[in-house]
Each structure stands twice: as structure tokens, then as C-alpha cells.
């Protein structure tokens, strides 16, 4: 039987081609989105080994969005139920043992098939810096023991090390601005990654137990380049000022204040203006100098027991803290923080975290408020007696409750007299401990840097219909080839 080529086969072929073309057009307009299972996550693990305690943080990110922006998030945190690892100088093995419970819990969070590829880091801060100054061998043994413990777990251990104070400050700055999308954001209008205004870049204020860090972008040139940290992130260059003051963390500052008080008397009792009325504490003078932060008198007196008597005087408390700083001797045209250290004038908005946050959170002062309001609240708190405080805060640890007046006044002295904030710039400080459901601190920035999760260059622009266009093109070519094949077969059968 002969085919009737001119009757219906050719129109049918043209109709088929039309269907293919229409399908290709629709695909090019709406795009094809692959239906797949949700992407599995990768994980990273960082220990923050501080002077007073150690914390473990686990981060996660989608495997198909590495080197992108805003995709790393905190999925787990654990606080080690022990003092900082530097306290184990005489028993280093126990420093490793102290980490086991948090590691055990982390292994229940990270999927089994992802554990061996999970990078694990331990960064030690000011407490271990002080121990290294005092006993380098002991600090090395502590790091060795914590490393041995971590290596017993099925993770990719990348080392336990003491980080510098400047790195601690810079990584905290990276963490804050990464979590708040300050480095880059995707513009749907421009269909490209854009650089947010520099005003969106936040400064970082970190207050630990043994050190404190300040990091920010100055409005002008950084005169002392030894205080500059430079980064190229997402295609943009940043030069920030950062400095760490060892021995000016909260715990060390409180000890310095007691030494100032005791240096003024040889009596068996001494008034402590930062302690509440009705609170007394006994200290051995020798123990107060058992730290590299303490400068022993040239002719030390015999150790004696002194009773500190609380007087609850906020003004005298502030004056006592001012004496632990040196506000003179600046050789940088008057542009200094304290102790003769160069610092440009503070610029922009800041996030204050760690001990800044914990103290002001307790005093209900974390909301941005005028400085006068904050100072009045601190004054009122310091006037409360020890009995009143224990009655109002029955669940608060006494060791912390007695120090909130002192901590608040130290923070005010550090920020106002030390760093140079004023009545006006005080409103630029926000006290926070979390952003984008992650804890603020140096650990996220540390991991992002060591795993190269923030690329030097900007991510490739996204294109909303890219996948649909490719699918449409392939579909159209296949349709054309199929039609040609049909026509050849029909021609051969005529």
C-alpha cells in the first residue's frame, strides 16, 4: 500500500513540530526545576576554650551551596561543665576528659555518614595565653591532651591551638557581619550580588574573662598598620582596626580592682565600693598576685587575710576601675584607647557580646537606651543591699550576684573612658548574644576562614531561568532531530 504523502503525513509532521516548539517555549519561560531529595548538610565543629569555660559549637551548611553567602548556621551548642582548660595546668589529662560529654552529644547531632569529613577545631583564648606566659610546657601539654581526646572521635581533627587576641577580635567581627548579611546580599532587581553600604558594617565588642577585644571600620586611615586586619570577602576589600587587651577581661579586671583597694590599706578590713552593703568576703593577698596580670610590689609584704566589706557606692566603684587604666602617655596625636595603645575614634554601629551581654541582660539594659538611663539603672542596682538581692534573685549564683554592680561599672568605664564612646555614640551599641539563630562570638568566623567558606571573589550571579533555558534548547534540538528522522523515513517509504 502506497503512503499518501501529500494528504495527511506532512501536515501531521508539521503539527508535531509545532507541539515541540510550543513545549520548548513554555520551558524557556517558566524553567524546569529538578525534583530531588533535599540536599544533605555538611558540618563543622569548633571548641571555644576560654579563660573561665569551654563551649562547643556545631555548624551546618547545604552541600550544594558551599562558598555561597548566608548559608552556614549553628545547629548545636554545648557548654562544658568545668572551668577553662587553662585551669588544668597541673592535670592536663583532665582537660581532655572535660570535653567528652559535649563531644558525645555532638555525635548524636552530626549524621554518622558525615562525621569523618567534619572538620573539628579547638581555639584557646586569653586563659591559655596567660598560661603560656607563665608555663609554656604546661600549656603545650594541655593542648596535647585536648587534641588526643578529640582525635578519639570520628571527625577530621584540624588542630588545637592558642589564637591571638587580634585574631579573636577579627573573627568576631567576621561572625557578626556574616550572620547579618553585611558583606553581600543578592538584589532581585539587579539579578546580581551587591555590596551593602559601608554603614551596614558593624563593629565588634567582645568581653571575655581575661581579655577584651574591639574591632571596627574607622572612618579614615588606620595610622598604626600593626593594628589593621585586612580581608577580601565576596569581591570587596576591608581594612578594620582591631586590638585585644590582655588582662582586661571581666574577671581579671575585678581582680585588678581588689588589688587597687588593698594597696590603699594595711588594715585587716577594707571597704569595697562595688560589693553590696551587707556582703563581706575574705581574701588572701598572696593569691591576688598569682597571675601574669598582677604586678607584684617591689617589696612585697607578707601574705595576710583581708575582709572586704561591701559599701554599694557606684561612683566610688567607677573611680576604682579608672585606676586600673592608664589614660595618659598617648604618642599617636591623642588618638588612643588606653595604656598608650593607638585607636582611631569609634565609628559606626557596634554589637557588644559575651560578658557585655550577660551583665546587661541581667540588669535588663540590653535594649538601646540613652546613657543617662543606663547609668541611673546601675546606680539604683548598686544601692540594693545583699539581703535584698538574694531575696529578689534566689536562683542566681551568689558568686555572680555579688559582682553585677562591679561588672556594670567596669563595662561603663571600659566603653566610655577606655574606648571613647560618648553620650551620642552610646546609642550605636547594641548588646546581643545571638543573630540569625546563631551565637555571636569568634568561632563561626574562625571556621569560615579556615574552611574557605567565604570566597575572596563574589559568587556568580544567579539567573532565575537559566535551567529552563538550557532544558528548552536541548528539548528543541531533540525535537528537530526527531522530526528530521521521521521525514527521512517517510521519504524512504514513498
The β-bridge partners of 307 are 269, 282
Site of grid cell 540590653: 366
Report the phi/psi class of residue 247: left, alpha or beta, with left for phi > 0 and alpha for psi in -120 to 50. left
b/e code 64-90 from CB counts within 10 Å (16+ = b): eeeebbbebebbbbbebebbbbbbbbe
End-to-end CA distance of the chain: 10
Q: Which of 266, 245, 247 is nearest to 255 (CA)?
A: 247
Q: Choosing from 136, 168, 185, 319, which is the catalytic residue?
A: 168
Distances (CA, A) of 232 to 68, 174, 256, 360, 455: 15, 11, 39, 34, 8
In the sheet that holds 73-79, the strands lie side by side as 73-79, 54-62, 41-49, 119-124, 156-162
Active site residue 467: no
Cβ 324 vs Cβ 260: under 8 Å: yes
Cα–Cα distance measured from residue 248 to residue 152, given in angstroms and rounded to the nearest whole number: 36
Going from the N-terminus, what domains does the chain have, and what CATH number goes with each? 41-162 (3.30.420.40)
Which pairing describes strands 350-354 and 429-431: parallel, antiparallel, or unpaired? parallel
Distances (CA, A) of 273 to 260, 279, 332, 490: 12, 11, 34, 103
Q: What secondary structure letter does DSSP report for 40?
A: P
Whats the size of the chain, residue-wise? Answer: 494
Tens place of pLDDT per residue across the chain (494 aa):
444 545 555 555 555 555 555 555 554 555 444 444 444 899 999 999 999 999 999 999 988 655 555 589 999 999 999 999 999 999 999 999 999 999 999 999 999 999 999 999 999 999 999 999 999 999 999 999 999 999 999 999 999 999 999 999 999 999 999 999 898 876 777 766 677 766 689 999 999 999 999 999 999 999 999 999 999 988 889 999 999 999 999 999 999 999 999 988 889 999 999 999 999 999 998 888 888 999 877 666 678 899 999 999 999 999 999 999 999 989 988 899 999 999 999 999 999 999 999 999 999 999 889 999 999 999 999 999 999 999 999 999 999 999 999 999 999 999 999 999 999 999 999 999 999 999 999 999 999 999 888 888 876 653 333 444 444 455 555 555 655 555 555 565 55
Distances (CA, A) of 4 to 7, 17, 489: 5, 20, 14
Cα–Cα distance measured from residue 353 to residue 350, given in angstroms and rounded to the nearest whole number: 10
Amino acid at each position: 500500500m502506497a503512503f499518501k504523502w501529500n494528504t495527511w503525513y506532512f501536515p501531521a509532521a508539521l503539527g508535531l513540530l509545532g507541539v515541540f516548539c510550543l513545549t520548548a517555549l513554555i520551558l524557556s519561560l517558566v524553567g524546569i526545576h529538578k525534583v530531588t531529595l533535599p540536599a544533605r548538610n555538611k558540618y563543622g565543629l569548633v571548641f571555644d576554650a576560654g579563660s573561665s569555660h569551654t563551649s562547643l559549637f556545631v555548624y551546618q551548611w547545604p552541600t550544594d551551596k558551599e562558598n555561597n553567602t548566608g548559608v552556614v548556621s549553628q545547629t548545636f551548642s554545648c557548654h562544658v561543665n568545668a572551668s577553662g582548660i587553662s585551669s588544668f595546668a597541673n592535670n592536663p589529662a583532665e582537660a581532655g576528659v572535660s570535653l567528652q560529654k559535649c563531644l558525645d552529644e555532638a555525635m548524636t547531632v552530626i549524621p554518622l555518614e558525615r562525621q569523618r569529613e567534619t572538620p573539628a577545631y579547638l581555639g584557646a583564648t586569653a586563659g591559655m595565653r596567660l598560661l603560656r606566659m607563665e608555663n609554656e610546657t604546661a600549656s603545650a601539654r594541655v593542648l596535647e591532651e585536648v587534641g588526643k581526646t578529640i582525635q578519639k572521635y570520628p571527625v577530621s581533627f584540624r588542630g588545637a591551638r592558642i589564637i591571638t587576641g587580634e585574631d579573636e577580635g577579627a573573627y568576631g567581627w567576621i561572625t557578626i557581619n556574616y550572620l547579618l548579611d553585611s558583606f553581600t546580599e543578592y538584589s532581585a532587581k539587579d539579578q546580581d550580588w551587591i555590596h551593602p553600604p559601608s554603614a551596614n558594617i558593624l563593629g565588634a565588642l567582645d568581653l571575655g574573662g581575661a581579655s577584651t577585644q574591639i574591632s571596627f571600620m574607622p572612618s579614615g586611615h588606620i595610622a598604626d598598620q600593626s593594628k589593621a586586619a585586612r580581608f577580601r570577602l565576596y569581591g570587596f576589600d576591608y581594612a578594620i582596626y582591631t586590638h585585644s587587651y590582655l588582662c582586661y577581661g571581666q574577671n581579671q579586671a575585678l581582680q585588678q580592682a581588689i588589688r587597687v583597694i588593698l594597696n590603699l590599706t594595711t588594715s585587716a578590713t577594707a571597704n569595697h565600693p562595688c560589693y553590696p552593703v551587707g556582703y563581706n568576703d575574705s581574701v588572701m593577698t598572696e593569691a591576688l598576685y598569682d597571675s601574669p596580670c598582677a604586678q607584684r610590689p617591689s617589696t612585697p609584704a607578707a601574705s595576710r587575710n583581708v575582709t572586704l566589706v561591701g559599701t554599694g557606692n557606684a561612683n566610688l566603684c567607677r573611680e576604682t576601675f579608672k585606676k586600673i587604666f592608664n589614660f595618659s602617655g598617648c604618642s599617636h596625636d591623642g588618638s588612643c584607647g588606653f595604656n598608650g595603645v593607638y585607636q582611631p575614634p569609634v565609628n559606626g554601629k557596634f554589637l557588644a557580646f559575651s560578658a557585655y551581654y550577660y551583665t546587661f541582660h541581667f540588669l535588663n539594659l540590653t535594649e538601646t537606651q540613652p546613657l543617662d538611663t543606663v547609668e541611673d539603672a546601675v546606680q539604683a542596682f548598686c544601692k540594693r543591699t545583699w539581703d535584698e538581692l538574694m531575696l529578689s534573685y534566689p536562683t542566681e549564683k551568689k558568686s555572680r550576684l555579688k559582682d553585677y554592680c562591679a561588672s556594670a561599672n567596669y563595662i561603663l568605664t571600659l566603653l566610655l573612658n577606655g574606648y571613647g564612646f560618648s553620650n551620642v555614640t552610646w546609642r550605636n551599641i547594641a548588646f546581643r548574644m545571638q543573630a540569625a539563630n546563631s551565637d555571636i562570638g569568634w568561632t563561626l568566623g574562625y571556621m569560615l576562614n579556615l574552611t574557605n567558606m567565604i570566597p575572596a571573589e563574589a559568587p556568580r550571579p544567579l539567573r532565575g531561568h537559566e535551567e529552563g533555558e538550557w532544558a528548552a534548547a536541548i528539548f528543541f534540538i531533540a525535537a528537530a532531530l526527531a522530526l528530521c528522522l521521521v521525514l527521512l523515513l517517510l521519504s524512504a517509504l514513498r
